[in-house]
Amino acid sequence: MSKRVFEGIKVVDFGWAIAGPLTLKYLADYGAKVICIESLQRPDLLRTATPYKNETPGVDRAGYFAYFAANKLSISINLNKHEGLEIARKLISWADIIADSHRPGVMERWHLGYDDLKKIKPDIIMIRNSNQGLTGPAATHPGLGNHINGLSGIVNYVGWPEQEPISLMVAYSDYLVPHFAAAALIGALDFRRKTGKGQLLDISQFEVGLQLLSPALVNYASNKTEEKAKGNSCEFAAPHGVYRCKGDDRWCTISIFDDAKWQVFCRTIGKTEWLIKPEFANLDSRKVNEVLLNNLIEQWTVQHEAEEVVKLLQQAGISSGVVQNAKDLYNDIQLKERECFWVSDHKELGRFSYLGQPSNLSTTKAELYRDAPCLGEHTEYICRELLGITQEEYDKYLVEGVFE
Amino acid sequence: MKIDEQITSALFEKEHLSMGTEKEILNSYRVLDLTDDKGFLCGKILADLGADVIKIEKPGGDISRGRGPFYHEIKDPEKNLYWFAYNLNKRGITLNIEKEKGRQIFIKLVQTADFVIESFKPGYLDKLDLSYLKLNQINPRIVMTSITPYGQTGPYKQYEASDIDVMAMGGLMYITGNPEQPPLRISLPQSFLLASAHGAAASMVAHFYRETSGEGQHVDVSAQECVLWEIANAIPLWTLNQNILRRVGSYMSGRWADTKQRLLWRCKNGYVLFYILGGAFGVKTNRAIVKWMEEENIAPEYLKDFNWDAFDMATQTQEMQDQIEIPINKLFTMFTKEELYDQALKRGIMLCPVNTSKDILENTQLKDREFWLDVEHPELGTKIRYPGAFARLSETPLSIKRRAPMIGEHNSEIYHDELGFSGSELKDLQSIGVI
Closest Cβ–Cβ partner in B159, B252, B271 for A169: B252
Chain B residue numbers touching A364 (CB-CB < 8 A): 205-206, 209, 217
Which residue on chain B is closest to A168 by alpha carbon?
B176
Q: Which residues contact B231 (CB under 8 A, 6 or more apart)?
A: A170, A326, A329, B170, B171, B172, B175, B245
Could B211 and A151 be called an inter-chain contact, meaning their C-beta atoms sit closer than 8 Å? no
Chain A residue numbers touching B365 (CB-CB < 8 A): 132-133, 136-139, 206
How many other CB atoms are there within 10 angstroms of residue B101's CB atom? 16
Could A158 and B391 be called an inter-chain contact, meaning their C-beta atoms sit closer than 8 Å? no
Range scoring the smallest mean pLDDT among A328-342, B309-323, B328-342:
B309-323
Closest Cβ–Cβ partner in B11, B82, B354 for A165: B354
CB A205 within 8 A of CB A132: yes
Q: How far is A233 from chain B (nearest CA, A)?
A: 8
Look at residue B17 and tell me whether its pLDDT is greater than 60.
Answer: no
CB A64 within 8 A of CB A49: yes
| B381 lies within 8 A of chain A by CB | no
Q: How confident is the model at residue B18 (pLDDT cuts 50, 70, 90)?
A: very low
DSSP SS3 for B302: helix
Q: Using CB atoms within 10 Å of the CB of residue B336, give its burial: 0 to 12 exposed, 13 to 18 middle, 19+ buried.
A: middle
Q: How far is B300 from chain A (nearest CA, A)?
A: 26
Q: Which of A96, A174, A190, A395 is catalytic?
A: A174
Chain B residue numbers touching A171 (CB-CB < 8 A): 232
Interior CA angle at A266 toward A263 and A269, to 5°? 145
Per-residue confidence (pLDDT) for residue B85, from 0 to 100 = 98
Q: What is the C-alpha separation between A41 and B57, in angstroms, rounded?
A: 56
Shortest CA distance to A384 belongs to which of A90, A96, A110? Answer: A90
Closest Cβ–Cβ partner in B165, B198, B224 for A253: B165
DSSP label of B273? E
Closest Cβ–Cβ partner in B11, B200, B240 for A179: B200
CB B254 within 8 A of CB B245: yes
CB A110 within 8 A of CB A138: no
Q: What is the C-alpha separation between A281 and B420, in angstroms, rounded?
A: 50
Could A326 and B132 be called an inter-chain contact, meaning their C-beta atoms sit closer than 8 Å? no
| B174 lies within 8 A of chain A by CB | yes
Mark which residues 32-91 of B lie under 8 Å from A by CB: 41, 45-46, 49, 67-69, 71-73, 81-82, 84-86
Phi, psi angles (nearest 5°) of residue B106? -60, -45
Per-residue confidence (pLDDT) for residue B255, from 0 to 100 = 79
Q: How far is CA A55 from CA A404, B137, B257, B314, in A?
A: 25, 54, 9, 11
**Which of B80, B210, B225 best probes binding to A when mutated, by most A CB atoms within 10 angstroms?**
B225
Chain A residue numbers touching B15 (CB-CB < 8 A): none
| Domains of chain B with bracketed CATH | 3-230+372-431 (3.40.50.10540), 250-357 (3.30.1540)
Which residue on chain B is closest to A30 by alpha carbon?
B205
Kindly state the average pLDDT of the residues B221-249: 96
CB burial of A87-110 (b: ≥16 within 10 Å; e: otherwise) equals: bbbbbbebbbbbbbbbbbbbbbeb
Which residue on chain A is closest to B176 by alpha carbon?
A168
DSSP SS3 for A147: helix
Instruction: Look up residue A77 and give its amino acid.
Output: I
Chain A residue numbers touching B64 (CB-CB < 8 A): none
| B431 lies within 8 A of chain A by CB | no
CB A56 within 8 A of CB A350: no
Q: How far is B305 from chain A (nearest CA, A)?
A: 24
Chain B residue numbers touching A167 (CB-CB < 8 A): 249-251, 263-264, 273
Q: What is the C-alpha separation between A145 and A18, in angstroms, rounded?
A: 8
Residue ranges of domains in chain A: 10-212+338-400, 240-330
Could A63 and B239 be called an inter-chain contact, meaning their C-beta atoms sit closer than 8 Å? yes
Which residue on chain B is closest to A223 by alpha carbon?
B72
DSSP label of A374? P
B412: left (phi over 0), alpha (psi -120 to 50) or beta: alpha
Q: What is the C-alpha separation between A101 and A123, in angstroms, rounded?
A: 20
Strand partners, B219: A361, B145
Q: How far is A384 from chain B (nearest CA, A)?
A: 30
Instruction: Look up residue A117 and give its amino acid.
Output: L
Look at residue B1 and tell me whether its pLDDT is greater than 50.
Answer: no
Instruction: Look up residue B223 and give its amino acid.
Output: A
Could A359 and B220 be called an inter-chain contact, meaning their C-beta atoms sit closer than 8 Å? yes
In chain A, the N- to C-terminal Cα span, in Å, equals 35
Per-residue confidence (pLDDT) for residue B16, from 0 to 100 = 42
Q: How far is B163 from chain A (nearest CA, A)?
A: 9
Which residue on chain B is closest to A357 by alpha carbon?
B225
Report which of residues B18 and B183 the model is more confident about.
Answer: B183
Shortest CA distance to B291 belongs to which of B336, B346, B341? Answer: B346
- CATH class for the region spanning A240-330: alpha beta
Closest Cβ–Cβ partner in B132, B271, B387 for A214: B387
How many other CB atoms are there within 10 angstroms of residue B179's CB atom? 10
| B187 lies within 8 A of chain A by CB | yes
Could B164 and A253 be called an inter-chain contact, meaning their C-beta atoms sit closer than 8 Å? yes
Average confidence score pLDDT of chain A: 97
CB A275 within 8 A of CB A266: yes
Q: What is the C-alpha separation between A228 and B188, in angstroms, rounded?
A: 9
> Which tens digit of pLDDT belongs to each residue from B41-85?
999 999 999 999 999 999 999 999 999 899 999 999 999 999 999
Closest Cβ–Cβ partner in B188, B219, B371 for A216: B188
Mark which residues 14-33 of B lie under 8 Å from A by CB: 25-26
Shortest CA distance to A92 belongs to which of A65, A61, A119, A68? Answer: A119
> Which tens digit of pLDDT belongs to each residue from B408-418?
999 999 999 99
- DSSP strand E in B313-370: where? 351-353
SS3 content of chain B, % helix, strand, coil (to 5): 45, 15, 45
**Which of B3, B4, B7, B134 best probes binding to A when mutated, by most A CB atoms within 10 angstroms?**
B7
Q: How far is B406 from chain A (nearest CA, A)?
A: 17
- DSSP strand E in A51-164: where? 72-76, 97-100, 125-130
Q: What is the C-alpha separation between B370 and B356, in angstroms, rounded?
A: 19
Average confidence score pLDDT of chain B: 93
Per-residue confidence (pLDDT) for residue A203, from 0 to 100 = 98
Chain B residue numbers touching A221 (CB-CB < 8 A): 357, 361, 384-386
**Before A51, cis peptide (omega within 30)?**
yes
Per-residue confidence (pLDDT) for residue A323, from 0 to 100 = 98
Could A201 and B393 be called an inter-chain contact, meaning their C-beta atoms sit closer than 8 Å? yes
Mark which residues 91-130 of B lie under 8 Å from A by CB: none
Per-residue confidence (pLDDT) for residue B401, from 0 to 100 = 87
The predicted complex's ipTM stands at 0.98
CB B168 within 8 A of CB A253: yes
Kindly state the average pLDDT of the residues B133-146: 98
Which residue on chain B is closest to A237 by alpha carbon?
B162
Q: How confident is the model at residue B130 (pLDDT cuts 50, 70, 90)?
A: very high
Give the number of C-alpha atoms closer than 13 A to the C-alpha of residue A367, restricted to the C-beta side: 10
Q: What is the C-alpha separation between B176 and B178, in angstroms, rounded?
A: 7
Per-residue confidence (pLDDT) for residue B15, from 0 to 100 = 43
Shortest CA distance to A102 belongs to which of A149, A41, A165, A37? Answer: A37
Q: Using CB atoms within 10 Å of the CB of residue A163, give its burial: 0 to 12 exposed, 13 to 18 middle, 19+ buried.
A: exposed
Give the number of C-alpha atoms closer than 13 A to the C-alpha of residue A350, restricted to the C-beta side: 7
Report which of residues B136 and B258 the model is more confident about.
Answer: B136
Chain B residue numbers touching A43 (CB-CB < 8 A): none
Closest Cβ–Cβ partner in A202, A232, A364 for B209: A364
CB A370 within 8 A of CB A33: no
SS3 track for B105-165: HHHHHHHHCCEEEECCCCCHHHHCCCCHHHHHHHCCCCEEEEEECCCCCCCCCCCCCCHHH
**Before A43, cis peptide (omega within 30)?**
no
Residue ranges of chain A with pLDDT lower than 50?
none
Q: Which residues contact A151 (CB under 8 A, 6 or more apart)?
A: A131, A132, A206, A209, B273, B352, B353, B355
Annotation says A248 is catalytic:
no
CB A224 within 8 A of CB A218: no
Chain A residue numbers touching B394 (CB-CB < 8 A): 199-202
How many other CB atoms are there within 10 angstroms of residue A228's CB atom? 14
DSSP SS3 for A340: coil
Could A171 and B3 be called an inter-chain contact, meaning their C-beta atoms sit closer than 8 Å? no
- CATH class for the region spanning A10-212+338-400: alpha beta
Q: How far is B423 from chain A (nearest CA, A)?
A: 37
Chain A residue numbers touching B76 (CB-CB < 8 A): none
Q: How confident is the model at residue B31 (pLDDT cuts 50, 70, 90)?
A: very high
Could B350 and A143 be called an inter-chain contact, meaning their C-beta atoms sit closer than 8 Å? yes
**Which of A16, A59, A167, A318 best probes binding to B when mutated, by most B CB atoms within 10 angstroms?**
A167
Length of chain B: 435
Could B171 and A26 be called an inter-chain contact, meaning their C-beta atoms sit closer than 8 Å? no
Per-residue confidence (pLDDT) for residue B323, from 0 to 100 = 92
* Global pTM value: 0.97
Cα B225 to its chain centre, rounded Å, is: 15
